[in-house]
Amino acid sequence: MSHDVRPDRKCRTRSGLLAIAFVAGLGVVPAAAEPAALEGSWSGFGHVVFPSGEKEKARCRATFRRTGGNSYGMSAICATASARVQQTATLSRVLSNRYRGEFTNAEFGVSGSIRIEVKGSRLDASLSGGGGSAQFALRR
């Protein structure tokens, strides 16, 4: 006894709609989505964890400029109770509101990775390199 198990047209259409809904639920960014505005000046607070494991509160001021396409440059001055440092970074937009790249602190010979997420007028930055790390929450 053989049964025809091919789905009928109504079932195939419903499956297709479910597949589209599933892909939409994965957070695929539409091509027309505007990127979160990174350009301009930001300032705020956070903390730095030094290679020794010591943790200090820090304040930071950063300026971002578009260098072309999805690329950006950053110049920042950050200060803790024990130091004031200047650093630069190059970043690329990887999602409409997320950026990744590399930072360099020429004065101390430290470089590493930087990740940024922009949420309206708030920017969350995470840096890692030279055995240390930092987290900042900046505002326009």
- The pair of structure tokens assigned to 72 is 């950006």
Residue ranges of the domains in the chain?
A: 40-139
- The pair of structure tokens assigned to 96 is 């409409």
Residue 3 has a pLDDT of 52
Q: Is 12 helix (H, G, I), strand (E, B) or coil?
A: helix
Which residue's structure tokens are 């892909």?
Answer: 23
Residue 14 has a pLDDT of 39
Does residue 6 surpass a pLDDT of 60? no
Find residue 82's DSSP bridge partners: none
Determine contact, residues 110/129, Cβ cutoff 8 Å: yes
Residue 36 has a pLDDT of 74
Does residue 20 surpass a pLDDT of 80? no
Instruction: Give the fold, CATH level 3, of 40-139.
Output: Lipocalin (2.40.128)
